[in-house]
Structure 1
Amino acid sequence: MMSSPLSRWVTAVFLTFLSQSQQGVHGKDCVCELRSSERPFPMETLDNIQVLASKCNQSITPKQVFEVDTLLLGLQRRMEELQQNTAVLEREDDGELYGAVTLRIIELELAEIQQLMARLNRTVHGLQQLSASTATQLQGMLGSMQELEDFDYMQVVNRQRENQRMRRDLDQCQHQLHATAEPPPTPRLGHCPHGQLVGVSGPRTYTLTQYGTSYSFGAWGKDPKPVPGKESTHWLVALTTSNVFANFVREYSTLSTIVVGVAPTDATIASSNPTTNTIQGPNVVMYGNALYYGCYNTPAVCRFNMTARTISTVALPQNTGFNNKFPFGHLEGTYVYSDLDFATDESGVWVVYTSPENFGNVILSEVLEGSPPALGRTYNTSLHKRTATNTFMACGVLYATRYISKEAEQIFYSFNTQTSVERYDLKINIKKMQTNIQSLNYNPRDQMLYAYGDAHIISYDAVFSDIL
């Protein structure tokens, strides 16, 4: 029977010890010299490999790859916008004021594209250098690990590899035996098919409205569920009376026309302002060719049909705050008459409000389409409404923003309607172009955020990622 290296080493040590003990020193002391024929294990090499592996993990993070994806997304969006604006110029250029303004817009977009491309090139070049350096380090670590395997006298590593291979083959066999056709995936609330919201880039659009600086409060955007022929239409509601009320909604055929402020079409909601059915508050949305807003002087949702020019309403629960009782706010003030906030996402329309019974904390209700509309699922949250400046929905998740400074707003809170999980640790900053953002809404059709801030209309790209 063949002996192993370990048993041979033990036998050699024992014989050496026996030989030395028989000699003796002064008849009492036993002295033995331990000599091993095996090489000492190079612990220093293993320590160096562990240090290199730790540095490698720290130098390469998902955030670096995500930065490239974000830049590519921004570049793609700006190229699409440039193409649209160029087409508008070719189709509608009058050779004078409109053409000059549109050319200026295209010039600014080209400058932004050049800046993005330069930043993308720098980022890619840095990642290429990092990749080359990392490949060299990995090759060195691989060679060192192969040398260390020579000390695996009991073949532990090889046996582990063989066990892993056999387990993998067994799992694959079982999967093939029991495999069944999976149903096609369907989007669900709380889960975006394009990933998790991780950032906001931009702005992409930033300009005064046709009214100039006259009306600080309002809202704008695109219909996430447009009727045929209005896919490019943008709408605008400016609160034209006391920064509180409005009685008409203005539509523009394209983004360029709303930026330049030409050829609008007005749809009158009420004959005077303010009066019954007047728009009250800045938080307004368009969905399915209908405008949703807070009804004048009553805690109710108003729905204005843009085609039929008819109005239908649904009352909110008793004691719902209205008439500036529970507005959004921050340390320096409040956004007046923002008691009701409306939002759109992949599933439809939502309304945000609160009541004394919920201690001023946000209540979220689904607004079901119909004439009249109706309230659907309702959720109570722990977010106190006055601690937020705005809310919006994306894929069944409610997000809230807060005032950080004159230059930044921050998405700090989320509530997932699927799991009822709340988070207060989000730190997604939005670059502000004006001191305040009076309204903010997400459009699931183009994955963009539309903001109205101090008489300016601004749009941002909502950045999503599958990396948690």
Structure 2
Amino acid sequence: MVPALLLFALLRSTLAWVPIDHWGSGNVTAGADENGQCVCKVFLPDTSFPGDKVELLQKTSMELSQKVELGLSKLELYESKLVIYAQKLVNLTVRVEIMQGRPDQYTELEFELLRIELQQMEALVTQLRQSVNSSSPIFDLLYVEIQNMTSVVNQLERYDKNNLLVMQHEFTKLQKKLEDCQKWHDESFKPDIGSCNHGGISNISMPYIVQLGAHVNEGYLYGGWGRDSKPKPGFEDMYWYSGYTSPYTYNLYLYSDYTNLLLRNQFKYFDNTLKGNGINNIMHGNYYYYNCYNTGNLCRMNATTFVVETRVLPDAAWNNRFSYSSATYQDFDFAADENGLWVIYATEASKGNMVLSKMNVDAFSAQQTWVTNVFRRRVSNAFMVCGVLYATRQINLNIEEIFYKYDTKTGKESYISIPFNKQYEGFVYLDYNPADQRLYMYSKGYYIYYNVKFEKI
């Protein structure tokens, strides 16, 4: 119990504003004690301050405040990411739209790279949705848009592959028609491969212009092309090409067959690994024969092992001393026919007249030599057929003429006249191939060939 005066002093400041009538009769009693003093008894409800609850409330409030701040920082981060993703999505959309306009101009690798970027975008958006841990229309729309673009890219890639298959099919049909037309046109030129049972060349067909060389550049004026004149088993259909912007040898491209030659799809190439003078080179028995760079030596490279051999050709003039009239630095002209490998050149002793040597392929050396009476600088080019040397000269801008031949069997030479048309004014390479009895020409960067007709005996 509390004395009345102390109680009133204590409660006056806090309870004075509450009328005593409102306290209720059950809470206040009054009376006198044994000494006659007035005593007032007040029964108040629990007035202890809830400090533990306030502390809990403050702690909870602080935790909520931290969570709100963390949530706000995450939202700011997500907002910045959304800006980046949105820009990436715009860029990808533009690229996909461009691809839709011309899907046939893109490779499988380009489609694969675009698909990888879309997969990365999809993974980032999925991660963002999981971080927010809720469904958002913005995230859902972004995710759907990426899925749509992925579908479009897949369709475009299928279109690209299908289109390529269609193009290859059409190309095959066109090639067949061309071959049929060529067969019909050249019915009189029926080759008897490997036979020399004829009286020599009687006629040359019209030129067949195949296409630009592998560099697809008319600036590659110097070069040659054709087939291996003595192919290894399994490489009977192989073609080769070498071309450069000046009269030097710097590369060699090999193609498994004629179709891959047209598609420029080489199975082996040597780019800037070879170095030689001139371009009257040849493939024979899986070897590439050429003039060694800046010397009067002969070179050959094994197309399988890449090993290069060199040989000295005695007395041969070089360094553009007696080159063909069609091109410079044609000191040595390799040729092949039904009898084997030959090299055509000139010497100081022959006073610039053409010299012809039959090569021993195994020893890579000259085994027999003939000297002609035709000055090499008068000649545009030359080639061998069945042991007979044929030389050409220019008649006018459009006509070339086989004007001279030398028979190594009899040692007889004669002047003849077998004109044939040229597609272009100049040419730098002309060689006969006994594997198909064709003349292969390289002119203005183009592959050109002729069928050869022989005189019957």
Letter in 2 for 1:244: P
Quick one: distance in 2 between partners of 1:116 and 1:459? Answer: 13
Name the CA distance, whole Å, in 2 between partners of 1:341 and 1:115.
Answer: 31
How many angstroms apart in 2 are the aligned matches of 1:374 and 1:220?
Answer: 24
User: Are residues 1:420 and 2:411 paired?
Assistant: yes
Q: Residue 356 in 1 paired to residue 348 in 2?
A: yes
Distance 1:423 1:195, change over 3 A: closer
Secondary structure (helix, strand or coil) at the match of 2:389 reads strand
Describe the SS at the equivalent of 1:283.
strand
The structural deviation recorded for 1:222 is 0.8
In structure 2, stretches of 5+ residues that fail to align are 1-162, 189-193
Q: Counterparts of 1:356 and 1:431 in 2: how far apart (Å)?
A: 34
Instruction: Give distance in 1, aligned partners of 2:214 and 2:389.
Output: 31
How far residue 351 of structure 1 moved from its aligned partner, in angstroms, is 0.7
CA distance in 1, matches of 2:181, 2:338: 33
The residue number in structure 2 matching 1:402 is 393
Unaligned ranges ≥5, structure 1 = 1-92, 121-186, 272-276
2:318 partner letter: F
Cα distance in 1 between the residues matched to 2:366 and 2:232? 23
1:103 deviates by 4.0
Paired position in structure 1 for 2:256: 253
1:427 counterpart SS class: strand
Contact preservation (8 Å) 1:209, 1:258: no
Alignment correspondent of 1:235: 240
Contact 2:405/2:413, CA 8 A, preserved across alignment: yes
Q: Which residue of 1 aligns with 2:338?
A: 346
Q: Quick check: 1:365 aligned with 2:353?
A: no
The separation in 2 between residues aligned to 1:362 and 1:440, in whole angstroms, is 16
Shift of residue 98 of structure 1? 4.2
Q: Name the structure 1 match of 2:445.
A: 455
Q: Which residue of 2 aligns with 1:132?
A: none
Partner of 1:289: 286
Question: Residue 289 of structure 1: CA displacement?
Answer: 0.6
Q: Give 1:257 deviation, angstroms.
A: 1.8
Task: Give the AA of the match of 2:354.
Answer: V
Q: CA offsets, 1:420-439, max 9 Å, x none? A: 10111x11122211212211
Q: 1: CA distance between counterparts of 2:426 and 2:234? A: 34
1:221 matched to 2:226: yes
Percent identity, aligned pairs only, is 34
SS in 1 for 2:224: strand
Structure 1 SS opposite 2:442: strand
- Taking the aligned partners of 2:282 and 2:185, their CA distance within structure 1 comes to 33
Confirm whether residue 438 of structure 1 aligns to residue 437 of structure 2: no
Say if 1:361 and 1:396 are closer, same or farther in 2 by CA, change over 3 A. Answer: same
Change (3 A) 1:244 1:354: same
1:220 touches 1:457 (CA, 8 Å); kept in 2? yes
Kindly indicate whether the alpha-carbon contact (under 8 Å) linking 1:267 and 1:306 is maintained by their aligned counterparts in 2. no
In 2, distance between residues paired with 1:229 and 1:306? 14
Contact 2:219 2:444 in 1 (8 A): no
For 1:306, the aligned partner's letter is A
Quick one: which amino acid aligns to residue 312 of structure 2? A
CA distance in 2 between partners of 1:434 and 1:108 (Å): 22
User: Partner of 1:465 in structure 2?
Assistant: 455
SS for the counterpart of 1:228 is coil
The 3 A distance-change label for structure 1 pair 428 and 309 is: same
Note if contact 2:287-2:301 (Cα within 8 Å) is conserved in structure 1.
yes
Cα pair 2:222 2:248 within 8 Å, conserved: no
SS of 1:247 mapped into structure 2: strand
1:205–1:460 contact (8 Å) kept in structure 2: no
- Note closer, same or farther for the CA distance 1:103–1:193 as it changes in structure 2 (3 Å cut): same
Please say if 1:306 is aligned against 2:284: no
Alpha carbons of structure 1 residues 294 and 403: separation in structure 2 relative to 1, 3 Å: same
1:200 maps to which residue? 204
Structure 2 counterpart of 1:209: 213
Q: Encode CA deviations 1:381-440: one digit per residue, 9 max, x unaligned.
A: 10100111000000000000001122211111000001110111x111222112122111
Alpha-carbon spacing, 1:404–1:206, altered in 2? closer, same or farther (3 Å): farther
One-letter amino acid of the structure 1 residue matched with residue 410 of structure 2:
T
Q: Deviations over 1:305-339 (max 9, x none)?
A: 11121111111123x2222221111xxxx411112
Rounded to whole Å, the distance in 1 between the matches of 2:356 and 2:256 is 32
* Matches for 1:119-134 after TM superposition, within 5 Å: none
Tell me the distance in 2 between the aligned counterparts of 1:114 and 1:246.
37
The match for 2:165 among 95, 118, 121 is 95
* Inter-CA distance 98–279: structure 2 relative to 1 (3 Å threshold): farther
CA distance in 2, matches of 1:393, 1:113: 25
**Residue aligned with 2:441, SS:** strand
1:98/1:260 contact within 8 Å kept: no
Q: Structure 1's 116 and 457: CA in aligned 2 closer, same or farther, altered over 3 A?
A: closer
- Contact 1:298-1:322 within 8 A present in 2 as well: yes
Give the match for residue 61 of structure 1: none
Q: 1:309 to 1:419 in 2, by over 3 A?
A: same
Q: Partner of 1:429 in structure 2?
A: 419
User: Which residue in 2 is equivalent to 1:325?
Assistant: 321
Amino acid at match of 2:254: E
Residue 111 and residue 373 in structure 1: after superposition, are their counterparts in 2 closer, same or farther (change >3 A)?
A: closer
Distance 1:347 1:110, change over 3 A: closer
Residue 380 (structure 2) pairs with residue 377 (structure 1) = no
Aligned residue for 1:335, secondary structure, equals: coil
Give yes or no for contact 2:296–2:313 (8 Å, CA) kept in 1. Answer: yes
Give the superposition deviation at 1:114.
6.2
- Separation in 1, partners of 2:202, 2:224: 24
Equivalent position amino acid for 1:299 in 2: G
> How many Å separate the matches in 2 of 1:263 and 1:442?
23
Larger Rg: 2
| Deviation digits for residues 135-171 of structure 1 (CA, Å, limit 9, x no counterpart) | xxxxxxxxxxxxxxxxxxxxxxxxxxxxxxxxxxxxx
SS at match of 1:386: helix
Amino acid at match of 1:231: E
CA offset at residue 262 of structure 1? 2.6
Query: Residue deviations 1:291-310, cap 9 Å, x none?
Result: 11111111111111111211
